[in-house]
Amino acid sequence: MSDLYTKKVMDHFTNPRNVGVMKDADGVGEVGNPTCGDIMKIYIKVGERQTEKGEKEEYIKNIKFQTLGCGAAIATSSIVTEMTIGKTLKEAEKLTNNQVAEELGGLPPIKMHCSNLAASALKKAIKDYKDKKRR
């Protein structure tokens, strides 16, 4: 397996960051791929801070994930949490599957769908937060 993946993918697979459930999450996004069986759930806690211009902005204060799937699915979930913690919601929403794959040093073409799942789960968590806030 390790000859298919970069060292960074293997590191995030064997030592995933930010794993767990967040009971007081502000937003939760869950996605799955019925073809391969991967299921990802991302939890976000949103904070508010002031910009240099004195405006308020919302950012990802904390993020956790649970993934049931292959090594690439776990690695992409892990790297997404590292890439987005501290980012504004606007910045996090712009995250693409290609950026996720690039951050890991690449993924085999057959595993690129995992980066789509991780980015989609994050976007669903942000949407969930915004929907709850509107209510």
Question: Domain containing 23 — which CATH number?
Answer: 3.90.1010.10
- Residue from 19, 30, 33, 36 carrying the catalytic annotation: 36
Residue 89 lies in a domain: yes
The reported pLDDT for the residue numbered 115 is 78
**3-state percent breakdown (helix, strand, coil) of the chain, nearest 5:** 45, 25, 30
Residue 134 lies in a domain: no
How many other CB atoms are found less than 10 A from the CB of residue 123?
A: 17
* Of 20, 35, 7, nearest in space to 111 by CA: 35
Residue 107 lies in a domain: yes
Structural contact between residues 29 and 95, judged by C-beta atoms closer than 8 angstroms: no
* Of 97, 34, 101, 92, nearest in space to 68 by CA: 34
- The boundaries of the domain holding residue 83 are 7-128
Under-50 pLDDT residues of the chain: none
Reply yes or no on whether 70 is catalytic.
no
- Residue from 31, 42, 44, 114 carrying the catalytic annotation: 114
What is the per-residue pLDDT across 5-27, written as a single tens digit (0 to 9) for each? 889 999 999 999 999 999 999 99
Total number of domains in the chain: 1
